[in-house]
Amino acid sequence: MLSPKNKLLIAILALFLLLALALYITHQNYARNLTRVVTVEPIKSALRTDIELMARWEYANEITKSASCRVVVESICKKKGTKAEPGERLLRVNSELLQQEYYNLLVQRKEIEKNIKHAKEEELESLELEAAMLDNQMTWAKKVISANGYIYAESTCIVRELESVGHTIEPGYPLYYAMLLDDTARLHAAVSDEDAKLIHTGDSFTETENGMSAVVESVVFEPETNGLECLLTSEELDSTAFDCPVHLERTVETEEYQTVLPMSALKMIDRNNAMAYCVRKRKTRFGEEAYVFPVSLLVLDHNKEWVAVAYSINDPIVAYYSDTLVDGQAVRVLE
């Protein structure tokens, strides 16, 4: 049978065991509830940036040819986007209807001639102007009638748009739109502010489909889009394909940097500054624990995935930056 003294010792020992178990369980719960983080080590690397442009051909010398009198389109001789040489047929209008329109103009012209003979001095200028306009319309109509209704290209061009068959075109309205083939053809591509910093005059881009090249002429501000545009020229690409987008790409590689981190590990404050969290260990009553502390970083360069910084970092970096972290916060580092 145990003495009272032994019973007391056993009771005290049991109490200590219960306290130790409670502390152990509390610590385990504390550890399990810590914020989990993954760390990453800085690397030495150059930064590669792939620049992609979706460009279209544009021409400074676009032309519009209009009808001088009312006509009806009878047929189309050239497809949109095709090249036309001087004298090639573009479209045909109904010559019988045009003949009737010519007679109507002729009647109007004779009527004005009569009015001019009896006009007052203040009316004369207006009537003469109207007569000259009718003369121009009649001259154009006679030319088209003599060509059996055909409208011809006047210079080497790319047909951009033609009116549809059966469409009635009033005087002064376009018959077709075209672009003169000369040295004004340029590839135009919208470009972001970040990519524009990496593009310089003379840089070569490669067309992704056939591997042909285009050379940067300039990067300009485009008021209509309130953004930047890259202008390129090419002796290899077909500038007649004005309606087809041209996919261009170029890879830019920098010098090697000593400290490069993934973009996910940083919070960009501005173009030149960023913040990250490092991880260290400290001693506690239960042993060592990991904690985080913030560091300010000077940004040297970056692309969409990586950032080069001017900082000698000896501690692991939290791989995924979070605003919920605070200085000195204990964390659980996942392997």
pLDDT at residue 43 tops 60: yes
Cα-Cα end-to-end distance for the chain: 54
* Domain 50-59+185-254: which CATH number of 3.90.800.10, 3.40.50.970, 2.40.30.170, 1.10.10.10: 2.40.30.170
Q: What is 62-180's CATH topology? A: OB fold (Dihydrolipoamide Acetyltransferase, E2P) (2.40.50)
**Mean pLDDT for the stretch of residues 113-131:** 82
Chain Cα centroid distance, residue 296: 33
Neighbours of 266 (CB within 10 A): 22
Tell me whether the CATH fold assigned to 32-47+256-333 matches the one assigned to 50-59+185-254: no
Distance, in Å, from the CA atom of 91 to the CA atom of 121, rounded to the nearest integer, reads 44
Identify which of 48, 50, 151, 53 has the alpha carbon closest to the alpha carbon of residue 93: 151
**Mean pLDDT for the stretch of residues 74-99:** 90
Prediction pTM value: 0.53
Residue 251 makes CB contacts below 8 A (sequence gap 6+) with 48, 49, 50, 51
Give me the architecture of the 32-47+256-333 domain, per CATH.
Beta Barrel (2.40)
Per the DSSP assignment, residues forming a β-bridge with 275 are 267, 296
Identify which of 162, 147, 139 has the alpha carbon closest to the alpha carbon of residue 69: 139
Mean pLDDT over the full length of the chain: 84
The pLDDT tens digits of the residues spanning 163-188 come to 888 999 999 899 988 887 766 678 88
CA distances from 233 to 50, 241, 261 (A): 20, 14, 37
